[in-house]
A and B are shown apart, each in its own frame.
Chain A
Amino acid sequence: MKIPEIDLYLIAPEIIITAFGFLVLLLDVFLPKEERKGYLGIISLIGIVVAFLFTLPQMRSVKSGFEGMFISDGYALFFKITFLIIAFLTVLISIGYTQREGIAFGEYYALILFATLGMMLMAAGTHLIIIFLGLETMSISIYILAGMMREDKRSVEAALKYFLLGAFATGFLLYGIALIYGATGSFHLKDIASYIATKNLLRSPMLLMSLVFLTIGFGFKIASVPFHMWTPDVYEGAPTSITAFMATGVKAAGFSALIRVFFSALPAFRPDWTSIMWVICVATMTLGNIVAISQTNIKRMLAYSSIAHAGYILVAFVAGNDLGTSGILFYLMAYAFMNIGAFTVVILLGKKGEENTLISDYAGIGFKYPLLAASMTIFLLSMAGIPPLGGFMAKFYVFSAAVKSKFYWLAILGVLNSAVSVYYYLRVTVLMYFRESEREITGLQFAPASVIALILTVIGTLYMGIFPANVLSLAQRSIAGLM
């Protein structure tokens, strides 16, 4: 047996994130209790920035390592950059929030870092076991994070629900992986594809079953209908910073693995999964948008909206062309900015013991906290797909991919859904600007770190809308070799 060649530089970002995760855990023990609170967040931020700096230079070349189990290609790196941005923003909004809510434990930041590590492995793994390990590393960290507010019943409920359902979904995924291994004898994505092609296994019941199981497993992570049931409860119950992390990071990671596995290993089954995904996609958009209309809690509304966004992204997935895949990358990054931004506003509008997460709490804040409300408006309109914001460009690319592959109905259903969604996003702006507040929200304390996050997300949302060319061409370069 040959000893696999080990190229540590290839996994430098992952190593750095892991190391900083442990560092945070260690410092948590050794630093005096009073001093540790803010520092741990800052150390995590430094770790993320360092990992980022190690990720960027790798963009230049495609390298595979560890016996072909791990790849550092444009696709993986684009996702890693997205994850690191998401993690950075999440930590930023957490610094003030965790202190306010009394959950400023060391393991909080360590778990965010470990979850990020899991995501990065999911994007870079070209071996089903690596992808699975990444997914589990991410999921287990998130299960704990969702239940961080131990005193809060809803948070505990969220964690338990997410854990139980998540464990099921993981079981399905693992079963699917096992069936693929059984049918093809390999975990390597490329080998699976070539084995299917040479042996003509297109009607193999084992592989068709595995296709279904993988769809369920990944569908759960990206919160697509009908595997979305957990989303509203978990998003509502989890600490808001973690909700933002889940809605953007976990979703992006789920998509990264879904696309890699389906396009690299199972391209032969394209007609089969296209028809399954078409149905899932339309159901996801429609259900997410329609149910969002009747929500009274902003976190639940954003949860349903995030389901709808998974649907829009699936439009591009169904389209299955290079335009669509680069569109998905662009979408996920734009979504990261606007969604984390919206949750940042949700956090800033709350205070200790008073979360103010009802949509009616937003009444009248438009002229009381003009910048906060203006930012929220930007994020919501961006999610609704109004130009010139990032969300518009993202939807533009996604729908153009569908049109290019002649999925006209899908594009039409997508834009109509988008028009429906305008209603509930506007409703928040109606409250913010058109109505007087019934109850004064006073004494808000704006944590400086959260304000920085707010500024960054506003800039990100505007930048991706007004100057989309750079990110888009990066995304287009990134998918070279994938399709």
Chain B
Amino acid sequence: MTILGIPILSLLIFFPILGAIVLLFINKEKPGTIRVVTLIFSLIEFIFSLPLFFAFDSKTAAMQFVEDWWWVQSYGISYKLGIDGISLLLVLLTTFLTVLCILCSWTAITFRVKEYMISFLFLETGMIGALVALDLVLFYVFWEVMLIPMYLLIGVWGDPKRRIYAAIKFFLFTMAGSVLMLVAILVLYFLNQKATGISTFDALELYKSGLPAGTQYWLFAAFALAFAIKVPMFPFHTWLPDAHTEAPTAGSVILAGVLLKMGTYGFIRFAIPLFPKAAFDLMPLVSVLALIGIIYGALVSMMQPDLKRLVAFSSVSHLGYVMLGMFAFNMQGIEGSIYQMLNHGISTGSLFLIVGMVYERRHTRLIADFGGLSKVMPIYAVFFMIVTLSSIGLPGTNGFVGEFLILLGAFQANVVYGVLAASGVILGAAYMLWMFQRVMFGKITKPENEKLKDLNAREITILVPMVIVIFLMGIYPKLFFSKMDASVEKFIKDFKGKVEMKADLPSPKVAEVKK
């Protein structure tokens, strides 16, 4: 399906590349033009993605805007794209955050602007592609394509001290995880071919292949490793603080906002539906790891002296919630999990933006170097406060809705998980508020901080949309849930059908609960 005859998903994938090609022909001595052109391209991309939201039919769980062509016909590899309620909002998040990232790189990136912007546009292509691909090989291709521009962003424009180490670590971790997934994809393909006689890498077709449990464990393990590294789940998270800390601000934003979601998205789109029995049987393991991630991430965050590292570890904690909710396998858990993916993109993305703004002024990120900033930067303080509260999950902000639903789901699945996860919420409030207090309140101890300029118009322009989204998602979540209800319902129905779980009491739709 297309909008007005335009294959909209392909357009979204390849439009950024067109932008990159246009940039090639702009003189690199004119960084201003390059910035403006990139911004225009990313804005148009965002505008192109909006019709998805409005034309999306929220009554059906089927894939929409599907494009299906052969890529390598003799192998059954197809160029198949489509989105459902699970990926729709993630695609929008990607195009939305990219615009803000370009804006926030305006003054932060001063050298090799052209190469930077080209990398960024290529990254956008990879991200959108991975989110809309329904063919396993195509997905794998986009999954790997994301790596290179991100690697360059960290390695070239990162913090000079350890950028190379962080870049290589990022690349090798992700690569090592994903190659085994490739083998698993192939094994799945041949097993399915043997069983059904159809050669296909189409994920929707492969959903139907009922593999024996023993095989499922192995294949699920391979997929889960690739995704768990990306999420990152404890104990595969060690690349994340380095990558986040060394990356330029926009790199951290997009890494937290979208790239990490690729891991959780991979679970919900591929690993779980393809290998439901294994996923169900391994639920305790995944849940425990998620809980360790929640609590460990929060505790480590508390002790971080560096703002960016603190936010990075808080990601480990937040993503733990996402995984916990997903593996609760009920309506609340999964919808909460998807919602929390979006929340994390918005809240943590904003936190990185905010840290980046103060870093640009002071060239330090150590909490000890700040204190009392609210006096000299009142506007900044307001934004920082809102984002901090959203990250904690204050009612009225987006974070509350996601965390609440996840806890609801977790309690239904297992009371102990729920209790432990809820204690993580308290820890989360502790480290965020303590950090906020140390940075913003108290006396100004350092003379350098006395003359800090407050946010300028461009920076406010970046943060205002974020804050709007924070409140919109917090106050009127139905707008978003209504898009995903049908898909999540089908997801759970299929899943339960396959693992032959006793049908629980029909869980009410979340949107109705909220009424």
Show the binding face of A for B, using Cβ within 8 Å: 367, 370, 381, 386-388, 392, 396, 399-400, 403-404, 408, 411-412, 415-416, 418-419, 422-423, 426, 430, 433-435, 468-469, 472-473, 476
Contacts and interface: CB of A to CB of B under 8 A. Distances in A.
Interface stretch (B59-67, B168-176, B347-355): B168-176
B182 A396 contact: yes
A394 to B, nearest CB: 13
Given A381-B148, A430-B168, A415 B183 contact: yes
Given A387-B140, A399-B183, A469-B71, A419 B172 contact: yes
B70 interface: yes
Nearest to A393: B72
A382 B361 CA distance: 41
A476 B74 contact: yes
Given A388-B145, A434-B164, A473-B73, 15 more contacts: A370-B115, A403-B183, A403-B186, A403-B190, A411-B183, A412-B183, A415-B182, A419-B176, A419-B179, A422-B175, A430-B164, A430-B167, A433-B155, A434-B163, A469-B74
7 contacts: A403-B183, A403-B189, A415-B180, A423-B172, A426-B172, A472-B74, A472-B75
Contacts of A473: 73-74
B168 A423 contact: yes
A367 B182 CA distance: 34
A426 B145 contact: no
Contacts of A423: 168, 172
Contacts of A396: 137, 182
Nearest to A406: B190
A392 B148 CA distance: 14
Contact of B186 (A411, A416, A435, A468): A411
Q: Which 4 residue pairs of A and B lie closest in terms of their CB atoms, listed nearest first?
A: A415-B179, A387-B141, A403-B186, A469-B72
Contact of A422 (B72, B171, B182): B171
Interface residues of B, number: 35
A430 B155 contact: yes
Interface string B138-155: 001100110110011001
B26 interface: no
A34 to B, nearest CB: 40
Contacts of B144: 386-387, 392
Nearest to B75: A472
A416 B179 contact: yes
A286 B180 CA distance: 17
A313 to B, nearest CB: 17
Nearest to B188: A403
Interface of A is mostly: helix
* Residue among A399, A433, A468 having the largest count of chain B Cβ atoms under 10 Å: A433
Contacts of A386: 144-145, 147-148
A411 B182 CA distance: 10
Nearest to B218: A408
Interface in B176-200: 176, 179-180, 182-183, 186-187, 189-190
A412 B180 contact: yes
A472 B137 CA distance: 16
B185 to A, nearest CB: 9
Contacts of A403: 183, 186-187, 189-190
Nearest to B222: A412
B32 to A, nearest CB: 19
B148 A433 contact: no
A388 B125 CA distance: 13
A260 B175 CA distance: 35
Interface in B314-365: none
A469 B152 contact: no
Contacts of B137: 396
Contacts of B453: none
A418 B183 CA distance: 12
Nearest to A388: B141
A412 B163 CA distance: 31
A433 B115 CA distance: 11
Nearest to B152: A433
A434 B155 contact: yes
B112 A399 contact: no
A370 to B, nearest CB: 8
A426 B154 CA distance: 14
Given A412-B180, A430-B164, A469-B72, A419 B189 contact: no
A415 B74 CA distance: 23
A381 B147 CA distance: 11
A408 B163 contact: no
Contacts of B70: 469
A404 B190 CA distance: 6
B183 A408 contact: yes
B156 interface: yes
B145 A422 contact: no
Contacts of A388: 141, 145
